[in-house]
A and B are shown apart, each in its own frame.
Chain A
C-alpha cells in the first residue's frame, strides 16, 4: 500500500521535471556549461602572457637571458624597449604583465664573478598571475646563473632540488578540476531540482492536493527526496564517464566507495534543498535561496582554495558544508585509491548533515500546515 503511494509520487516527480521544457533545460544546460567552463576556460595555469624586456646590457649574458625567455613556451610575446617611460606605460595599460630589466653592467659583473642583478617589475593588480610569472622568470634566471662560470664552479657545492608530484605527476590541471566538478554538479542539480519541487507545487496549488491525500508527511518527504537523488546519481555518472574517457583522468580507487558515499552526499544536498523549498513560498524564492547557499558552499569547500588558507574563525563554518567532505572522497577515489576508513570518516558528517536537514525540512513542512 505505502509502496504504491510512494511509487506514484516518485514517478510523478520524475515526470514533472522531465516533461517540463524548463526542467529539462536545467538538467542539460548547466551541467554541460559547467564542464566546459571549469575544465577548459577557468584554468589556474598562466599561459599566453605578454612580457617586456628592457635590456641595457650589451654583453653576451644579457643576450643569453633574453633568448632563454624568448624560448620559453609560457610567454605569448616579448616586446623590447630601451626606455623606462615605455616600461611604465606597458604595465599601466596592461600590455605586459611583467618587465624584465637587465642592468648595463650585467655581463661585466658575471664575467668578473661578482653577483649580478636583474629587476622584474610585475603588475600587482593581477596578483595571482604575477606571482606565477615571477616564478617562471625566477627559474629561467636561476638556470642561467647555474650556467655562468661562477655558477658552474659552485655547482658541486649546492643542493640540487628534484621535485616530483605524486598522484598528478605532470600537474595536469584537469586531473584536479574534473573530479571536483563531479561533486559540484551534484550539488548544483540536487539543490535546484529539489528547491523547485515543493515551491512549484505551492504555486500550482497542487500541494494541498498532496496534503489531503493519504500520503503521510514522511512519505511525501521520501517521495521528494528520491527523484532528485536519482537525477544527481545520473549526473555523477555522466561526469565520471567524461572524466575517464574525455579528460583521461586516472580512476585509481573503488567506484563502489564513490557511489556508496555519493548516496549520503546526495541525501545531504537534497535535504538542504528540501529545507530551502519548505521555507520558500514561490519558485523565485526557492531559486534565490538555492544560490544563496551554493555560492558560499563552493567557496568554502576547498574547491578552488584550500580550507587551511582560510582564517581560523571561518574554518569551522566549512564543517556544515557537504561539498567539503565529498570533494575529499571524489579526489581520493580518482587520484589516489583512498582507503575505506577515510571514506567512512568523511561520510559520517554527510550522514549527520542529511539527518539534520531532513528533520528540519519535515518539521517546517508540518509547521506550515498549522
Chain B
C-alpha cells in the first residue's frame, strides 16, 4: 500500500434533499491514502452528506463515488467491510461500559475472538482508556467519548477512516491527543477523512476539501490556499484608544478584505495592491504599527468568499447609548457555586463586568461555563453566592432585571413554526413593547437584518446564518443593557460570524455589556476579559493578551489562544496534583 494512492474518487456528485438548494452541487475530489484529508466548511455546507455518500449509506442523485476501487452504488458492502466510520453523534451506548461497547462493536464487525485480546490491548493503550474500561460510556468526558468512538471504528483495521466532526465538544487538549492518534494511523497507510467546521483544524490537515453551501471551493494543500493571501495579512499593534472603534475604521477603509480583533491587536487582510490604511485620526498616539503576519486558513477562506462585511453596524447606530455614570459593574458574580448532588458543576466563580465590555467564559463542553452562565441570567439558582445584573438580584427582582437583559441561546432557540414576523412580534410583546415603539423597533430589525422578503417564512426553514441573525434581532429588540450570548456563532460561516461581531462590537461601543460563552478560541479574542473555566473552576482570568503572556516562553514568544488554554489547563492540573 503506497501513500498518496487514490482511495476515494468523487466525480460530479449532486445530492438533493427535497426541493431546497442541493446539499452537494457538482462536487469533485480525491481522498488519498496515508494522508489526513480535511473536509472543511461551516454547518450545512454538505460535509456530513459527503461522508455518508462515501460510506455507501446514501447514493448520489448524479455523479459517482468510488471508494477503494468500488462504486458505492454497486458494491456498498465491499466498501463497508474495509472502512471505519465515526458519525457525528457517535453511536456509543451510554448505558454500556467502555469494555461492553468494545465487545459489542467487535461482535458487529465480526472480529474473531482470538484476535480480540490483542486488539483491545492495543487500542486501549493507543486511546489511553485502559483505566476506564469499566466506566459507563455516558459518564466519559467529551474527549474520552470521541477516543472510544475512534477505538470502536478501528477495531478491524480499516483502510479508510471517516471521521465526522471528531473535534466537536472536545477540549483542546483531547483534541490534540486525538489528532496525534490519527496522524499515527496515516503513517501506516490508512487514509483519513476529518470533517470540521473549525478552520484552525483545517490548517493542520495534509489536504483539504473546502465546502461552502454545497459547492467545492478548494481542493489541495492548506498552504496552497493560505498562499493566496501571503503578504496581505497584517497585524496592527499599538493602536491606542478603543480597539473596536479602530477596527470599524479599518474595515471601512478601501482595500480591506477582512479584519478581526486579536487581543489588543487588530488583524487585517488587504486586497492585493492596497497598502494598510492610516490609523484612525482620533487616536492620540501614532504608535500603531503594521507588521506582516503569517496568513491563516480563515483569512484565505474569507478572501475567497469576497471579503467580510463592513465595519459599521446599523444596529448599533440606532441604539440609544448607555451612559457610564457611576462606574459600577453591570454584571457581577460573587462566589457562584452550583452543586448537583455531590457533583460541583461550578465552584466559587467570581468576576464583574464594567459597562461597555465583553466578558468571555471560555472552556470545553461540560466544564461549567453554561452552568455559570445560567446562574447569571437567572435560569439556575446558585447553591452558594449571588449574581447581579444592572444592580438587581436575578432571583429577587427578576422581572426588573430581565427587562434589561437580552438572551441568545445556543442553537438559536426560536419558535420554528412561527414566521420571522411572528417571532419578532412575540419577542417585542414579551418585552412589553407596544404601539408605535413596537412598530418602530420591529421595522428597524427587518431593515437592518434584511428580513424584508422572508417575513412570512417559518423560522425553522431559514438557513443557519439567517437563524442566527433572527435570534440576535429578537434578543436586542428591547435595547437591553446586558446581552447574554451562549455559543453565539458556533457552526455558522465566517462571514456571518464577522457580521455578528460587528454588531456586537458596535453595541458595546454604545455601552451595552456582553457576557459570552464560547469554546471557540478565535471568538475569545474579541473579549475584553476572559475567565477560563475548567472542571467547574475558574483557572485564569484576564485579557486575552494577559493570558497569552502568562504562557509565553522564550522558545515560543507568540502563543495562540489555544496554546494559552492548554498551558493554563495543564498548569492547573499540575498544581492540583501537587496539592
Contact = CB atoms under 8 A, between A and B. Distances in A.
**Do A and B interact?**
yes
A215 B417 CA distance: 21
A211 B378 contact: yes
Contact of B429 (A8, A211, A212): A8
Contacts of A266: none
A224 to B, nearest CB: 13
B549 to A, nearest CB: 36
B429 A209 contact: no
Interface stretch (B31-39, B103-111, B402-410, B558-566): B402-410
Interface string A183-219: 0000000000000000000001110111111111000
A23 B458 CA distance: 15
Residue picked from B405, B429, B458, B484, most chain A C-beta under 10 Å? B429
Contact of A15 (B380, B418, B428, B484): B418
B411 to A, nearest CB: 6
Interface size for chain B: under 10, 10 to 19, 20 to 34, or 35 or more residues?
Answer: 35 or more
Contacts of A213: 402, 407, 427, 430-431
Contacts, number: 88
Residue picked from A4, A9, A16, A209, most chain B C-beta under 10 Å? A209
Tell me if A's interface is mostly helix, strand, loop or mixed: helix
Contacts of B374: 208
Contact of A205 (B398, B413, B426): B413
Interface in A85-100: none
A1 B414 CA distance: 23
B379 A4 contact: no
B425 interface: yes
Contacts of A11: 425-426, 429
B381 interface: yes
Given A4-B432, A4-B434, A8-B428, A214 B402 contact: yes
A20 interface: yes
A212 B415 contact: no
Contact of B418 (A9, A16, A214): A16
Interface string A71-94: 000000000000000000000000
Contacts of A164: none
B450 to A, nearest CB: 23
Contact of A212 (B379, B416, B418, B422): B379
16 contacts: A1-B432, A7-B429, A8-B429, A12-B415, A12-B418, A15-B415, A23-B417, A204-B413, A204-B415, A206-B413, A208-B407, A211-B378, A212-B378, A212-B407, A214-B402, A215-B430
Pairs of residues from A and B, 9 with the lowest C-beta to C-beta distance, nearest first? A8-B429, A205-B413, A212-B407, A20-B417, A19-B417, A12-B426, A206-B413, A214-B402, A4-B434
Given A19-B458, A208-B374, 15 more contacts: A1-B432, A5-B431, A8-B429, A9-B429, A11-B429, A12-B418, A15-B417, A19-B418, A206-B413, A209-B409, A210-B430, A211-B378, A213-B402, A213-B407, A214-B402
Interface of B: 374, 377-381, 398-399, 402-403, 405, 407, 409-411, 413-419, 422, 425-434, 458, 484
